């Protein structure tokens, strides 16, 4: 380790995603994905989507998820509030790694927004294609 390496807030938005926090809290609760999915009344694939950051739960499921995992909803969303403590062997990131993680998170958010926009455009196109036949 160099003198300039820094300790990191393990679950902060710059380091961890929503899915990372869900997976960590699930593991801390000593549950596998199928057990947590059963407790939440969702399919395992749904939970996997949350943990992989490809989808997010609705507000009512988020509240239930936080309750089952014994963490706050805000902690799941952004790493702030009642949640897990950093692991005892807290990871020390080398200089520049936090900047890279922040950039990756920014790109992930941009991709999510672009994906939503793509879906909206596809829906509009389907509606336009269907409209001439409805008249």
Query: Which pTM was predicted?
Result: 0.58
Do residues 8 and 90 lie in contact, with contact meaning Cβ atoms separated by under 8 Å?
Answer: yes
Do residues 67 and 25 lie in contact, with contact meaning Cβ atoms separated by under 8 Å?
Answer: no
CA distance 20 to 105: 12
Give me the pLDDT at residue 8, please.
44
CA distance 109 to 115: 10
User: pLDDT per residue over 49-93, tens digit each?
Assistant: 999 988 999 989 999 999 999 998 998 888 887 776 665 555 666
User: pLDDT per residue over 83-119, tens digit each?
Assistant: 766 655 556 668 887 788 778 777 877 887 888 888 8
CA distance 25 to 119: 31
Q: Determine which helix (DSSP H) or strand (DSSP E) holds 93, and give its type and residue range.
A: strand 92-93
Give me the pLDDT at residue 1, please.
34
């Amino acid at each position: 380790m160099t003198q300039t390496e820094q300790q990191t807030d393990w679950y902060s938005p710059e380091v961890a995603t929503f899915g990372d926090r869900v997976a960590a809290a699930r593991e801390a609760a000593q549950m596998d994905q199928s057990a947590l999915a059963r407790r939440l009344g969702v399919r395992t694939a749904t939970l996997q989507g949350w943990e992989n950051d490809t989808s997010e739960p609705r507000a009512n499921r988020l509240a239930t998820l936080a309750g089952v995992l014994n963490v706050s909803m805000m902690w799941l969303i952004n790493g702030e509030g009642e949640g897990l403590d950093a692991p005892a062997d807290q990871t020390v990131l080398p200089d520049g790694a936090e900047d890279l993680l922040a950039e990756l998170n920014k790109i992930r958010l941009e991709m999510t927004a672009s994906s939503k926009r793509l879906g909206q455009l596809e829906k509009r196109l389907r509606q336009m294609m269907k409209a001439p036949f409805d008249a």
